[in-house]
Amino acid sequence: LTADLGDARSVIRQALTGAGFEVADYELIAGDRKAVRMLDATVTGCLAGVAATGSIVTGGAAGRAGALVAPTHICVVEARRIVDGLATLMRLAPRLGAGSMMALQTGPSRTADIEKTLIIGVHGPKRVHIVLLDGVLAP
């Protein structure tokens, strides 16, 4: 679980541990390459969701690689954080609190550079799931 989940992190931790999952705070294991390689999934929040492209926008609070290191990325998006398009996102960017990093993600990476064979998830997760909240999640 990444720090950008804010107050929702404790609620999500409780739900995941109750379902039998082992849960770790990403910032506590980020420096341990072996522990990071063992992750099955990461759960992050986001700064914004872009309706026109289906993109999510993560920032430094998720950790520089929090949304990218595990084979599965689950992103919790509050409905109030959805913007209509990239122009609106760029206009709002200075107020989103991204710090020194803002990353847009639109599903798993895709490349067909090698022998014109499509490969999915070479860089980053192979699966991306969005959990859309109609409201603010609080403990």
Question: Is residue 4's pLDDT more than 60?
Answer: yes
DSSP states of 38-100 as a string? T-SEEEE--SEEETTTTEEEEEGGG-TTTTTSSSEEEEEEEGGGEESSHHHHHHHGGGTT-TT
Q: Which amino acid is at 91?
A: R
| pLDDT value for 91 | 93
| pLDDT value for 139 | 42
Lowest mean pLDDT among 33-37, 102-106, 107-111, 133-137: 133-137
The pLDDT tens digits for 114-129 are 677 777 766 778 888 9
Q: What is the pTM of this model?
A: 0.83
